[in-house]
Structure 1
Amino acid sequence: MKGFEMSNDPKAIAVWDPLVRVFHWTVAIAFFVAYFTEGDPLIVHVWAGYTIGTLVVLRVIWGFVGPKHARFSDFVFAPWTVWSYFVSLVTFRAKRYVGHSPAGGAMVVVLLAGLAATVWAGLETLAAEENAGPLAELSLVSSASADPAPASQFRVASEESLSGESGEREEGDREGEESAWKEIHEVLANLMLFLVIAHLAGVALASVVHRENLPRAMVTGRKRT
């Protein structure tokens, strides 16, 4: 793009390490795969979710032990600093940061938290509806404790009737739990899509304001000094 500093500038410096770059693009691909498959085929949707969850955990760990610009301490700012930067960005007066800007850092934290919540809701949905995934065993234990085995196999007719009604109520509760988790998962996924779009808009605006190709920098790992 005309006017932008190219990442092959001899004065460019290394900013984004390989793990940050691989995390960024792999999570982006996995999110869109999971979002647009919507569970059909289920195995693709599930493994995309597993990929996201694993990478989020690794990125959080890397945020404490990774190199300077990968650490949360480098890009987590006070709320008023984030707001001040955002105002200056939309008015084209924002200060340039070599690493994540205050607004960019805030978006990283929000996206990580949102992805973690979405994956967790997906795992709960998988356990409730398919009796599968890492939370399935916990779901079975919960069901077993809520539905103890009868003390005797011999029941009078009235007891059998009551037992049947109880079973129907428990089944209804189970279906309600499945529906609730599925709805939460879908709401979170749609919220994440909105945040991703906002993130892309922010990157585009910052690239123009700072006259720097930020997507290219996330590929090469290098930015101008």
Structure 2
Amino acid sequence: MVRLVHWSLALTILLNGAFVEEESMTHEWIGYVALGLVALRLIWALIGPKHARFSAFPPSPMRAVNHLGAILSGDRKIHLSHNPLGALMVYNIWLSVIGLGVTGYMMTTLTFFGVDWVEEAHEAIFAWLIFSVVLHIAGVAFDSWRSGVNLARSMVTGRKNIPMGSELE
């Protein structure tokens, strides 16, 4: 479920960001699908298996700072779920998609149709989301190099190939 939602959400972002006309019904419906995918993933984080649950990747700025310090000191511990920086990115992307969904919906209502700040917020959130996605991909590439675990492959196959002798956290 995690991988299906991940890649489906990536596809919705790619389609709406690069291929679909901004003010079209297709854009609107793809946005609703993206919002539904995030809702599904949030539910799965409550009821899914151990590594898919919120408890496997709690949002903790302090843990993220400590993890960054560990990286800078050469630590190569491997996380079975998201590392603390990755966890913050997950929540950031989810909140960004929710923000896009809310502002996108607002633009379809009589109250907010044509209201500049709503459109500007939608565009700003999208720009933030694209920046976040690029940072996410760079983080995955860096952590794959640092840890020796091909994280992108594990998001396709569902299996992390942990190098022998690796320390797990």
Greater Rg over alpha carbons, structure? 1
Once residues 40 and 114 of structure 1 are traced to their aligned partners in structure 2, the CA distance between those partners, rounded to angstroms, is: 17
Matches within 5 A, 1:136-155: 139=111
The 8 Å contact of residues 39 and 46 in structure 1, kept in 2 or not, is answered as no
Among 33, 51, 55, the alignment partner of 1:73 is: 55
Deviations 1:69-121 (A, max 9, x none): 10011111532111111233355424211111111111111111111111110
Once residues 132 and 77 of structure 2 are traced to their aligned partners in structure 1, the CA distance between those partners, rounded to angstroms, is: 23
Partner of 1:213: 150
TM-score calculated relative to the size of structure 1: 0.67
Among 104, 124, 136, the alignment partner of 1:187 is: 124
Partner of 1:204: 141
Partner of 2:104: 122
Deviates more, 1:96-105 or 1:74-83: 74-83
Residue 27 of structure 1 and its aligned partner are, at CA, apart by: 0.3
Q: Which runs of 5+ in 2 are unaligned?
A: 163-169
Once residues 73 and 141 of structure 2 are traced to their aligned partners in structure 1, the CA distance between those partners, rounded to angstroms, is: 14
Once residues 71 and 3 of structure 2 are traced to their aligned partners in structure 1, the CA distance between those partners, rounded to angstroms, is: 24
Once residues 182 and 27 of structure 1 are traced to their aligned partners in structure 2, the CA distance between those partners, rounded to angstroms, is: 22
Q: Which runs of 5+ in 1 are unaligned?
A: 1-18, 129-138, 140-173
Among 91, 115, 127, the alignment partner of 1:109 is: 91
Residue 62 of structure 1 and its aligned partner are, at CA, apart by: 0.7
Structure 2 CA distance for partners of 1:38 and 1:88, relative to 1, 3 Å: farther
Q: What is the identity percentage for the equivalent residue pairs of Structure 1 and Structure 2?
A: 32
Once residues 40 and 77 of structure 1 are traced to their aligned partners in structure 2, the CA distance between those partners, rounded to angstroms, is: 32
Partner of 2:165: none
Once residues 146 and 59 of structure 2 are traced to their aligned partners in structure 1, the CA distance between those partners, rounded to angstroms, is: 20
Letter in 1 for 2:152: P
Once residues 149 and 133 of structure 2 are traced to their aligned partners in structure 1, the CA distance between those partners, rounded to angstroms, is: 20
The 8 Å contact of residues 37 and 45 in structure 1, kept in 2 or not, is answered as no
Once residues 118 and 21 of structure 2 are traced to their aligned partners in structure 1, the CA distance between those partners, rounded to angstroms, is: 14
Once residues 89 and 36 of structure 1 are traced to their aligned partners in structure 2, the CA distance between those partners, rounded to angstroms, is: 34
Count of paired positions: 162
Deviates more, 1:101-110 or 1:188-197: 101-110
Once residues 124 and 41 of structure 1 are traced to their aligned partners in structure 2, the CA distance between those partners, rounded to angstroms, is: 13
Structure number with higher relative contact order (C-alpha < 8 Å, ≥ 6 residues apart):
1
TM-score calculated relative to the size of structure 2: 0.87
Partner of 2:161: 224
Structure 2 CA distance for partners of 1:196 and 1:214, relative to 1, 3 Å: same
The 8 Å contact of residues 111 and 192 in structure 1, kept in 2 or not, is answered as yes
Root-mean-square deviation (CA), in Å?
Answer: 1.9
